[in-house]
């Protein structure tokens, strides 16, 4: 019953925000939000369990009341330092509960949207409970991080690279003609050069990409060495050189389209970045294993034939958007929206 009430509360809270009118424009918070010096002294369990209000049998305790307020930001909490303001907040909690009980009386706790929302909230809380302290970044050792760095050295240390586009032909005389045209106004723009690629190039693979050879390093084995050397020899991005004899019966007219400086990141400079990456990978793997274990322990029957009966509306008409199941994280665990007075 409490879970259903909390799920109903998600929608009801929005109604409270719209109708309660408790966030008055002229309300002024205290000069400063309570800091460490504003924290209340520790309370005994009896005080926290003391009834503050009862709504048709549902008890709002001191603990629940102050937990709801203390869940808000310091700026919002500063509004509830007086008894009058606390009474106003309590009135919102009572209104919240009255609406929730009425909704439950009407059977809305069994409504498909409410049940689906409640399940989504439960899943978020389950994942948070399961993994919040199970895997922590500080538990990842220096040895793990160093091994990751060594295994992914090419991500943190890269040589200088250039990017070029090429018109490839198989005749030296034609290559000279194409180079003359490409170094004129016709080849100055990338668009103009791509048009020349489409017109003259005989290499179908690069022709489909507008002549793009992508980025490559000086030790690239994918292109003829004279072509690589010529591309690196171009000082200014956008310049065109050629023809270049590839040494294999092909001639290249090159346009440099980009240059990347060498990248060198020592281990210490990326240590925290690696720690976070390993943490995310471990958590993702743990979540995947956890879910897979639950699936293996469950009795699941899938009616493949029934999938053919599903009809998808591909029109542009609007529809009610329902929560989408998500199991990858647990950051959004604050399921129950606060009443209007806490907005």
**Cα angle for residues 93, 95, 99 (degrees, 5° grid):** 120
With a cut of 90, say whether residue 52 has pLDDT above it.
Answer: no
Q: Which of 253, 242, 171, 243 is nearest to 206 (CA)?
A: 253
What pLDDT, in 10s, does the model give residues 35-48?
444 555 577 888 78
pLDDT for the residue numbered 63: 86
Q: 180-188 long-range contacts, Cβ below 8 Å, gap at least 24?
A: 182/240, 182/242, 182/253, 182/255, 183/240, 183/242, 187/240, 187/255, 188/238
pLDDT for the residue numbered 326: 53
Domain ranges within the chain, ordered by starting residue: 2-133+322-342, 160-261
pLDDT for the residue numbered 335: 38
Confidence of residue 34 (pLDDT cuts 50, 70, 90): very low
CA distance 93 to 13: 10
What pLDDT, in 10s, does the model give residues 262-299?
999 999 999 999 999 999 999 999 999 999 998 899 88
CA distance 206 to 214: 9
pLDDT for the residue numbered 134: 83
Pairing label, strands 251-260, 161-169: antiparallel
Q: Mean pLDDT, the chain, as a whole number?
A: 80
Q: What number does CATH give the domain 160-261? A: 3.10.50.40
Handedness of CA 327, 332, 338, 340 (dihedral sign): negative
Burial class (CB in 10 A: 0-12, 13-18, 19+), 167: buried
More confident residue, 330 or 155: 155
Confidence of residue 189 (pLDDT cuts 50, 70, 90): confident
* The pTM of the whole model exceeds 0.75: no
Angle in degrees, 0-180, between the axes of helices 2-19 and 112-131, rounded to the nearest 10? 110
With a cut of 90, say whether residue 49 has pLDDT above it.
Answer: no
Residues facing residue 259 across a β-bridge: 162
User: In this predicted structure, which of 13-17, 248-252, 256-260, 261-265 has the lowest mean pLDDT?
Assistant: 13-17
DSSP three-state, residue 164 = strand
Sheet of 240-245, strands arranged across: 212-217, 161-169, 251-260, 240-245
Confidence of residue 8 (pLDDT cuts 50, 70, 90): low
pLDDT for the residue numbered 317: 63
User: In this predicted structure, which of 167-176, 248-257, 321-330 has the lowest mean pLDDT?
Assistant: 321-330
Stretch 306-312: mean pLDDT, rounded?
79
CA distance 99 to 109: 12
User: In this predicted structure, which of 173-187, 219-233, 315-329 has the lowest mean pLDDT?
Assistant: 315-329
With a cut of 80, say whether residue 150 has pLDDT above it.
Answer: yes
Place of tokens 């490559």: 216
Beta-carbon-side half-sphere exposure of residue 226 (alpha carbons within 13 Å): 13
With a cut of 90, say whether residue 17 has pLDDT above it.
Answer: no
Q: Which range in 18-22, 221-225, 313-317 is most confidently predicted, on average pLDDT? A: 221-225
Residue 196 and residue 187 in contact, taking contact as beta carbons nearer than 8 Å: yes
pLDDT for the residue numbered 116: 94
Q: Where are the alpha helices (DSSP H) in the chain?
A: 2-19, 45-49, 62-70, 74-77, 83-105, 112-131, 142-151, 153-156, 172-182, 190-200, 204-207, 225-233, 267-297
């Amino acid at each position: 019953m409490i879970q259903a009430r909390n799920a109903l509360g998600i929608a009801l809270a929005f109604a409270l925000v719209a109708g309660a009118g408790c966030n008055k424009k002229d309300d002024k918070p205290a000069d400063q939000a309570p800091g460490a010096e504003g924290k209340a002294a520790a309370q005994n369990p009896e005080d926290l369990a003391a009834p503050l209000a009862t709504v048709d049998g549902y008890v709002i305790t001191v603990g629940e009341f102050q937990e709801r307020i203390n869940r808000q930001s310091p700026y919002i909490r500063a509004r509830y330092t007086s008894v009058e303001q606390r009474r106003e907040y309590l009135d919102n909690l009572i209104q919240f509960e009255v609406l929730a009980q009425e909704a439950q009386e009407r059977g809305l706790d069994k409504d498909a949207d409410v049940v689906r929302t409640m399940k989504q909230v439960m899943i978020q809380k389950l994942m948070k409970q399961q993994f919040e302290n199970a895997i922590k970044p500080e538990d990842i050792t220096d040895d793990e991080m160093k091994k990751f760095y060594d295994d992914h050295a090419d991500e943190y240390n890269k040589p200088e690279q250039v990017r070029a586009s090429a018109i490839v032909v198989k005749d030296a005389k034609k290559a000279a003609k194409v180079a003359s045209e490409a170094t004129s106004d016709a080849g100055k723009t990338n668009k103009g050069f791509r048009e020349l690629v489409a017109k003259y190039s005989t290499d179908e693979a690069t022709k489909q990409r507008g002549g793009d050879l992508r980025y490559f390093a000086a030790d690239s084995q994918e292109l003829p060495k004279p072509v690589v050397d010529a591309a690196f020899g171009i000082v200014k991005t956008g310049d065109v050189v050629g023809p270049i004899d590839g040494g294999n019966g092909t001639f290249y007219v090159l346009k440099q389209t980009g240059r990347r400086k060498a990248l060198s990141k020592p281990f210490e400079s990326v240590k925290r970045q690696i720690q976070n990456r390993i943490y995310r990978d471990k958590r993702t793997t743990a979540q995947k294993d956890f879910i897979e274990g639950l699936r293996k322990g469950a009795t699941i029957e899938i009616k493949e034939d029934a999938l053919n009966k599903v009809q998808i509306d591909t029109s542009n008409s609007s529809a009610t958007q329902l929560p989408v199941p998500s199991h990858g994280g647990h950051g959004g665990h604050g399921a129950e929206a606060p009443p209007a007075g806490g907005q």
